[in-house]
Homo-oligomer: A and B are copies of this chain.
C-alpha cells in the first residue's frame, strides 16, 4: 500500500481499530533534510537535520494531531467540530472537517480583522464566529459548547492531538535508524514537545531505538512562561504561532525536559528572525518565524557548550513560511536593482 497518512502508517501505535473511519489528507511523511550549510555556518560539529513540517497538507504540524482528532470525532458520530483559534489550528481543523464531511466552527475574538490569517480556514468551508470578548472567553465558549452538544472540541485539550503528533518522532527514528542525541523544538502551547517525547519513549519501550534524545524546547523571550515560571498576561513576540502566555501542556513539557535531561530555554525575537533568515538563505527553506525558534535555540545552546560534537541533531520546523507572507516581505532583502535592458547595463547590475 502506498503512503496514505500517518494513521494508516502507524496504526499499531494509535488509538484506532479496523473499523475506525480514517480521515486523512496524507499528512506526515515530511522531509528530513540534512542541513550541512547551516551546520557549517553556525560552527556545529555534528550532523544537523531539519524536519520540515511545513510540507503538511495545510502547512503546519497541526495536521498530525488533527487527522487523529477528526478521525475520532467522526468515529464518535460528532456532527461538527469546533475550536477557538486564529491561526494554524483553525486551518487544520477546517481542512479535516471538510474531508470528513462535517461542519467546522471557528470562534475568534471580535475585532480580530486580519482576514488573511483566516482565509485558509474559510476556503476549507469553516464557519467563523466572532464573539465580543477576548481569546480566553472564546476558549471557554468552545469548551462549554463541546460539553453540552455533539460538537467535538479540537483545540489542544483534545487528547488525540498528542497521539497524532507523536508520529513525528517515529518518522525521525525510522529515517535515522536511531534517535537523535538532541531534539530542538519551538515551545508555545507545549503540546508538540510533549508529543515528540511521548513518541520517542514509545519507540524506546518497543526496543526500536536504544537511546533517547535530550529534549531542547525554546520559547520566545517575550512569552517565556515556562522559563520564567509564571503565566504571562500579555505575551509578546513576532513569532505568532508561539505567542502563548499560559501553555496548555506546561507540566508535560517540564517532565519531557527533566526526564530527558534536556532544557527549556528562550530566545529573543532578534535571534529568531536571524535564524529565520538564515534557514532561507543557507538551506533554501522558508518556515514560519515561530519554527525558527528551534534553530535559534540550537545556535544559543551550541554557544553555551550544551551540544556535544559528533552527534545527530534534529530541529523541528513547525510550519510553512508561505503562511506568513507579511514577515517574508518584511525580512526579505527588498533591494531590487534597476537597470536598462542593455546587456552591458544588466551585467553591471549583476556585478559581472
Residues of A within 8 A of B (CB): 2-4, 25-26, 29, 31-34, 37, 52, 55-59, 94-99, 101, 105, 107-108, 110, 115-116, 118-120, 122-125, 127-133, 137-138, 141, 144-145, 149, 151, 174-176, 277, 280-286, 320-323, 325, 328-329, 331-341, 343, 346-347, 349-350, 352
Contact = CB atoms under 8 A, between A and B. Distances in A.
Contacts of A282: 98
Contacts of A52: 26, 57
A338 B25 contact: no
25 contacts: A3-B31, A3-B175, A4-B34, A25-B33, A25-B285, A26-B33, A26-B52, A31-B57, A95-B285, A105-B350, A118-B332, A119-B329, A119-B332, A119-B334, A120-B328, A124-B280, A124-B284, A130-B336, A130-B339, A131-B338, A131-B346, A133-B341, A141-B346, A149-B352, A322-B322
Given A124-B281, A320-B322, A325-B325, 15 more contacts: A26-B33, A37-B101, A55-B55, A95-B285, A98-B282, A98-B283, A110-B338, A115-B329, A116-B329, A119-B329, A120-B321, A120-B328, A125-B333, A128-B337, A149-B352
A177 to B, nearest CB: 8
Looking at A130, A132, A325, which has the most chain B CB atoms within 10 Å of its CB? A325
B57 A322 contact: no
B31 A129 contact: no
Nearest to A97: B284
A63 B55 CA distance: 13
